[in-house]
Structure 1
Amino acid sequence: MARAKRRPATPETQATVSHAAETCPNCTTESSASFNQFEKENWIQCNINACKTWYHWRCVSAEPPSFLSEDEKKDYTIDKIDKWYCKPCMDKDPSRVITLKAPARKSDRKRNYQDYASLNLGLASDPNRWMRMLENKAFKQDTFKRMQGSDVTVEWLEEEEDAMTEPIVVEKPDGLGMKMPPSTFSVEDVAELVGEESPVEVIDVATQSASPGWTLGKWADYIELEPEAREKIWNVISLEITGTKVGDLVLPPKLVRDLDWVDNFWPSTRKGKGHAYPKVQLYCLMGVASAWTDWHVDFAGSSVYYHILRGSKVFYFIKPTSANLAAYERWSGTELQSSWLGDLVPEVTKVVLTAGNTMIIPSGWIHAVYTPEDTIVFGGNFLHSYSMPMQLKIRKIENATQVPKKFRFPLFSKLCWYVGDKYLRDLKTPAGASYPPRVLTSLLALAEFLVSEIRILERGSDQAKKEVRDQIPSDRVKDPAAVARELRWRVRLAVGNASDDEGSSAVKTNGVGIKRKRTAEEEERPRFKNFKPRQWDNVIEDAQEGEARIINAPKPSDNDETWKERWVEWTNGAVDGDSAGEVEVKSRTETIVRIRRTGEGLERQRVERVVESWEWH
């Protein structure tokens, strides 16, 4: 869409306005003398790429196109321009003609958006009741990190243990590696580029429920109303724009693209027209002044990037501790939902975002959002390999609170299978693969989830089996049981846990798992079809006796079963119980060193084990 462009006299351009005669080619001594430095000046830019010169609208509007009628010339304004060319460019090519936009939509629709259904049901119809809940509430001071865009990288995520565990704010988009529409982009632009007849889900702020029958054209009409003329407050928070002309103008931050499972694991051949895949990466949110979105967690615990293009937002955050998530689960879908969730948790953090700010919200954070002024936001959701335990925890809450399928992360299980299959392939390469501890923890949770899906296939009802089977991508995963269990085994090996099956190789005593050492025959036996364990080229074992020492310690009592747990945590002087006695402690250090050649060179593994024997005198 070719549009006339305006350069408003914002604070950043005041200097340009005050020296207008130096920047507009059409300025004259008389016209520049008439400028008032306290008034805003509209600018228009030539549409020719080789020119792109800016002019004051007042300096060029005196010559309207000749094809306009006299009445139209009187109403010749910058808002009516579609394509505009400066006089030098039109002189070079007489075929260039200034064109106007098509007449604005004139709708006979009555702008009475009264929700009679809600009134008949006796539901609250005052959107301001949400803000009244905030009166006299105490909020924790915002201490979330403010970061430079260039520092928000995968390296940051790998090097800092607390990275992506709480929201961060990037005040300017520089360095984030993302693309956004210009700040002048409007709701009218969204309607024109996506299509005015395109349906859009609109939320009635008063009831927090969807209002049917809306299109983007109708929404643009509503936004054009002055705030005092809006009989109700509505909100748009779920317009997904993938594959649209608006979507072409948006690119998520580079960190998001580096982490996003849909970007990195969903086959590119199974995206686009004709294919079902998770379209959750590009959302346009359009809220009006006084809009409110009640407490929620993004579906499947997905993380979020959130960029304020125009306007501002106020976020209220609750940290996803186990206790807070339990409170959220009790609150969701019950009569408690009409109350302030913040009263059920220790603290709520308030964050104010303004135009140009970008926020990244990690998995599981509970939040509510207030819109102080008409605002346009672009953002998206993403699952990633650093937060699978939390992602699964939120999915469990969704199951417990019976969240409808419409509001779930689309094709969640199928995406998990694609991810698990790719990680397994990487782990099976001759050189293997190494991952940060947080990723290994996340992969172990992913593997356990896939194994739980296999158990449903093996033991579940016919309907449950069908639902699981439909989510397994047969184009990649030919033997889902083998994929799930081998992934779990290989990840366990990577984190130092040799147990690989579902109970036979581990014995539980008083709830504490004790690994059973595998026999030599078991070590040689392939555990998976076509799997051959990698052999070590040399293994050296050594044992050294340490010096005996005498300490005072309480002797375990035959009548006290709790000594088993207490002695696991033993440090000198840390165990209460029977009277202390003199005990001789002998130690032995066993060392195993293994080496083998790899594709890159050499791998060396050293395992050291200290065994102590205690004897009371």
Structure 2
Amino acid sequence: MARARRRPARNAAARATSPLSSQEATPEAEPLASSTHAAAESCPGCTTESSASFNQFEKENWIRCDVCKTWYHWRCASSEPPAFLSEEDKKDYSIDRIDKWYCKPCVDKDPSRVMTLKAPARKSDRKRNYQDYASLNLGLTDPNRWIRMLENKTFKPDKFKRMHGSEVNMDWLEEDEDAMTEPILIEKPDGLGMKMPPSDFTVEDVAELVGEETPLEVIDVATQSASPGWNLGKWADYIELEPEAREKVYNVISLEVTGTKVGDMVLPPKLVRDVDWVENFWPSTRKGKGNAYPKVQLYCLMGVASAWTDWHVDFAGSSVYYHILRGSKVFYFIKPTPANLAIYERWSGTELQNSWLGDLVDEVVKVTLTEGNTMIIPSGWIHAVYTPVDTIVFGGNFLHSFAMPMQLKIRKIEIATQVPKKFRFPLFTKLCWYVGDKYLRDLKAPAGVSYPARVLTSLLALADFLVSEARILERGSDQAKKEAKDQVPSDRVKDPAAVARELRWRLRLAAGNSSDDEGVTVKPNGAGVKRKRTAEAEDERPRFKNFKPRRWDSVVEKADEDETRVVKARKPTEDDEAWKEQWVEWTINGAEGDASDAQVKSRTETIVRIRRTGEGLERQRVERVVESWEWQ
């Protein structure tokens, strides 16, 4: 049956990628590729003429093809009644009457596919109250169901770090391997280098400074779906009501205030500004009014008592800073282990969504934030949020160079669960091209650069992603090539294939691998792991226009004599698969239990390369240790 909706669905899959707390990006954050409206990104039926008529603040009806499951704007698809309908059906023709609907490409493939209508509803002059019995049976219309659901659950007390604002800096991020891998809580904003409105700032102040007529995305907490027809003035009036006088519980979690008077009062923590890709890599000349760029850094969240935001992951695995200006929030966290992310992916957009996700994973951690607290949430953490009292929060999303593998993993989940582009991180691929181009220029600089192992691992994932985009440009379908090309910033990247492959090549050199080592990945500890080279890898050897690699003035290879020693170690057996993981680390495993004497022969091979530079001398030393183990 054809699915229709007011905007791309507010199902779990869509929530999984929204800024801060399960909502779509604001209209201002949407791409305006090829001078068309942002909404066209998720509608294949849009044309230049139809896109020009879009109003970014208007709600759009959408319909999905029953064959290919692609979403179209109703106005771009079949808003005019087909000629084969009766005159009576033409008069009552609307998106709500559609039973089966097929897009033009699917009809062209099989002309027997014909749109059908639902039987007209029986009309009566008697007034009646409509009840959604399906939702009632599931308890979905009761906003307090979340609170009752929490009553019988057990949570692990949080052991997340409490840090002083002055400790949250680049030195911590670069030197602590656990930095930005778990949420951290800063109880007071002192030392964070952050600016916020005064603590007596109100929703009425937000409405006056941003504009009472500003359209607002409001969430009906009971159904976790958008409630139409709101603006900031109406929202301020709602907040003024006593809790018992509020007909429903609503929540606002996607008001982006960049470029407003409220936005001028907010400055993210200094660490966030230091690592934020949008802040550091998107050209400043291409920000501001009239330019499309990822506007996700300054959100004002306004929740009332008993509001709830269901389980979600922030879009593209972006990290979050989150400051409680007034009120309180209770967070429920699930660690993004491979198993938990797989469960979350299955849960998203299915009937499992009506169940408590926490029952399906290993553990849930509960954290309570109060007025003045700031939290930084790393990439990929699954979370739900409860609001015990009326609360105002300021926060924002950011991508950075320490978490690209996780950011790409969340993006793959978005693709697998068919999250519409409108609900994903705006201009994600274009931002990646800007980042890759800047890192390449830094790597090519005469002075050279060095990166922590975590950053090298992250950048190699970025380079692999850009190489995959380059392959689409070279080998994809015409439509795929066009979409990929639209995401390349032509003002900076003239030859995307060369940029992507040279970036990957230089990063692998920086990781200590040989220039032609196309089958190497870098582990989090910086060690190289060689993979078998494939035909595709052979085809992907670097090709750069007018590029001549710098030669080493001297390369010396030497090997130490074999050294033999006897150690206690457990011999791997054919029926024991665990030995593979145990022996990956460079340690002697199994020194207890059934360990026995093993004779170990080892030798060290060293390669030293030197060359003169404009500043003096560059020397590179690479050591390879080879061991042979034999049990007595």
After TM superposition, the score normalised by the length of structure 2 is 0.71
Match of 1:322 among 326, 338, 343: 338
Q: Does 1:605 align with 2:620?
A: yes
Residue in 1 aligned with 2:310?
Answer: 294
What are the Cα deviations for residues 455-496 of structure 1, in whole angstroms up to 9, with x where unaligned? Answer: 222222222221111100001000000001111111111112
2:607 is equivalent to residue 592 of structure 1: yes
Structure 2 CA distance for partners of 1:537 and 1:117, relative to 1, 3 Å? farther
User: For residue 475 of structure 1, what is the aligned residue in structure 2?
Assistant: 491
- Per the alignment, residue 397 of structure 2 pairs with 381
Q: Which is bigger in relative contact order (C-alpha 8 A, separation at least 6)?
A: 2
Alignment of 1:157-306 (within 5 A): 157-306=173-322
2:153 is the alignment partner of 1:132 = no
List per-residue Cα deviations over 1:488-514 (Å, max 9, x = no partner): 111111112336576699xxxxx9725
- Shift in CA distance, 613/149, structure 1 to aligned 2, threshold 3 Å: closer
CA distances 1:189-246 after superposition (whole Å, capped 9, x unpaired):
1111111110000000000000111000110111111111001000000000000111
Q: 1:532 to 1:564 in 2, by over 3 A?
A: farther
Alpha carbons 1:526, 1:532 under 8 Å: kept: no
The verdict on how the C-alpha distance between 1:612 and 1:241 changes in structure 2, with shifts beyond 3 A counting, is closer
Q: Which amino acid aligns with 2:363?
A: E
- The 8 Å contact of residues 118 and 125 in structure 1, kept in 2 or not, is answered as no
C-alpha distance in 1 between matches for 2:373 and 2:149: 27
Contact 1:526 1:533 in 2 (8 A): no
Distance between the aligned counterparts of 1:547 and 1:185, measured in 2? 71
Q: Deviations over 1:530-573 (max 9, x none)?
A: 2222222333333332355689999999x999999799769879
Aligned residue identity for 1:341: L
Separation in structure 1 between the aligned mates of residue 234 and residue 533 of structure 2, nearest angstrom:
64
The equivalent residue for 2:83 is none
CA deviations 1:313-366 (Å, max 9, x no partner) are: 110000110011111111111101111000001111111111111110000000
The 3-state SS of whatever aligns with 1:539 is strand
Q: What is the aligned partner in structure 2 of residue 450 from structure 1?
A: 466
Q: Judging changes above 3 Å, is the alpha-carbon distance between structure 1 residues 586 and 379 closer, same or farther for their aligned structure 2 residues?
A: closer
Contact 2:569 2:598 in 1 (8 A): yes
Task: Give the match's secondary structure for 1:252.
Answer: coil
Whether the 8 Å CA contact 2:519–2:533 is kept in 1: the answer is: no
How far did residue 137 of structure 1 move? 0.7
Write the deviation string for residues 163-183 of structure 1: whole angstroms up to 9, x where unpaired.
Answer: 111111111111111111111
Residue identity matched to 1:252: P
- The AA in structure 1 aligned to 2:531 is G
User: 2:408 matched to which residue of 1?
Assistant: 392
- Asked if the contact 2:501/2:542 (under 8 Å) is kept, the reply is no
Displacement of 1:405 after TM fit? 2.0
Cα distance in 2 between the residues matched to 1:550 and 1:282:
61
Tell whether the 8 Å contact from 2:557 to 2:607 is kept in structure 1 after alignment: yes
Is 2:506 the counterpart of 1:490? Answer: yes
Q: Which amino acid aligns with 2:485?
A: R
**Equivalent residue number for residue 92 of structure 1:** none
Alignment check: 8 A CA contact 1:307 1:358 kept: yes
Aligned equivalents of 1:351 and 1:560: distance in 2?
44
Equivalent residue, structure 2, for 1:41:
none
Q: How far apart, CA to CA, are the structure 2 residues paired with 1:208 and 1:254?
A: 33
C-alpha spacing 1:589/1:388, structure 2 compared with 1 (3 Å): closer
Amino acid at match of 1:301: G
Paired residue type of 1:598:
T
Mean Cα deviation higher: 489-498 or 283-292: 489-498
Q: What amino acid maps onto 1:271 in structure 2?
A: K
Q: Distance in 2 between matches of 1:269 and 1:370?
A: 39
| 2:598–2:629 CA contact under 8 A, matched in 1 | no
Contact 1:555 1:581 in 2 (8 A): no
- Letter of the aligned partner of 1:238 in structure 2? S
Distance 1:327-1:531 versus aligned 2 partners, 3 A rule: same
Distance in 1 (alpha carbons) for counterparts of 2:190 and 2:292: 34
1:361 to 344, 357, 377: 377
Distance 1:497 1:221, change over 3 A: same
| Equivalent position SS for 2:410 | helix
Decide whether the 8 Å contact of 2:333 with 2:383 is kept in 1.
yes
C-alpha displacement of 1:406: 2.2
Q: How far apart, CA to CA, are the structure 2 residues paired with 1:556 and 1:131?
A: 52
Q: Supply the distance in 2 between the matched residues of 1:140 and 1:562 (Cα, whole angstroms).
A: 32
Are the counterparts in 2 of residues 300 and 395 from structure 1 also a CA contact under 8 Å? yes
Task: Specify the alignment match of 1:538 in structure 2.
Answer: 554
Corresponding position of 2:451:
435
User: Within 2, Cα distance between the matches of 1:267 and 1:196?
Assistant: 32
Q: Which amino acid aligns with 2:407?
A: Q
Aligned counterparts of 1:427 and 1:331: Cα–Cα separation in 2: 42
In the TM superposition, 1:389-428 aligns within 5 A as 389-428=405-444
The answer to whether the 8 A contact 2:502-2:542 is kept is: no
- Residue 308 (structure 1) aligned to one of 292, 312, 324: 324
Q: Is the Cα contact below 8 Å between 2:313 and 2:380 reproduced in 1?
A: yes
| Cα distance in 2, alignment partners of residues 175 and 387 from structure 1 | 24
**Secondary structure at the residue paired with 1:134?**
helix
Gaps of 5+ in 2: 1-128, 522-528
Code of the aligned partner of 2:455: V
Q: Give the alignment of 1:14-33 within 5 angstroms.
A: none
Q: Distance in 2 between matches of 1:347 and 1:133?
A: 16
| Matched letter for residue 231 of structure 2 | T
> Do the aligned partners of residues 181 and 503 (structure 1) sit closer, same or farther apart at CA in structure 2, a change above 3 Å counting?
closer
Could you tell me how far 1:613 is from its partner in structure 2?
Answer: 6.7
Structure 2: distance between partners of 1:595 and 1:333:
57
Question: Structure 1 pair 560/125, CA: closer, same or farther in 2 (3 Å)?
Answer: closer
Q: Is the 8 A contact 2:518 2:533 kept in 1?
A: no
Q: Does the 8 Å contact 2:142/2:222 carry over to 1?
A: yes
- C-alpha separation in 2, matches of 1:257 and 1:293: 27
Paired residue type of 1:513: R
User: Post-superposition shift, 1:574?
Assistant: 5.9
Q: SS in structure 1 opposite 2:226?
A: strand
Unpaired segments ≥5 residues, structure 1: 1-115, 506-510, 517-521
SS at match of 2:157: coil
CA distance in 1, matches of 2:239, 2:631: 83
The answer (yes or no) to whether the contact 1:499–1:515 under 8 Å persists in 2 is no
In 2, the alpha carbon distance for the partners of 1:236 and 1:492 equals 45
Q: How much has 1:389 moved relative to structure 2? A: 0.4
One-letter amino acid of the counterpart of residue 283, structure 1 = Y
Q: Deviations over 1:131-175 (max 9, x none)?
A: 111112110011111111111101110110101111111111111
Residue of structure 2 aligned with 1:513, choices 531, 539, 542: 531
- Aligned pair in 2 of structure 1 residues 189, 572: CA closer, same or farther (>3 Å)? closer
Residues 336 and 590 (structure 1), Cα distance of their counterparts in 2 relative to 1, 3 Å cut: closer
Q: 1:38 aligns to what? A: none
Q: Given the superposition, is the C-alpha separation of residues 232 and 458 from structure 1 closer, same or farther in structure 2, using an over 3 Å criterion?
A: same
| Amino acid in the other structure paired with 1:594 | R
Structure 1 partner of 2:479: 463
Which stretch has the larger CA shift, 493-502 or 443-452? 493-502
Q: Count residues with an aligned counterpart.
A: 486
Whole-Å separation in 2 of the counterparts to 1:601 and 1:261: 33
CA contact (8 A) 1:240 1:279 kept: yes
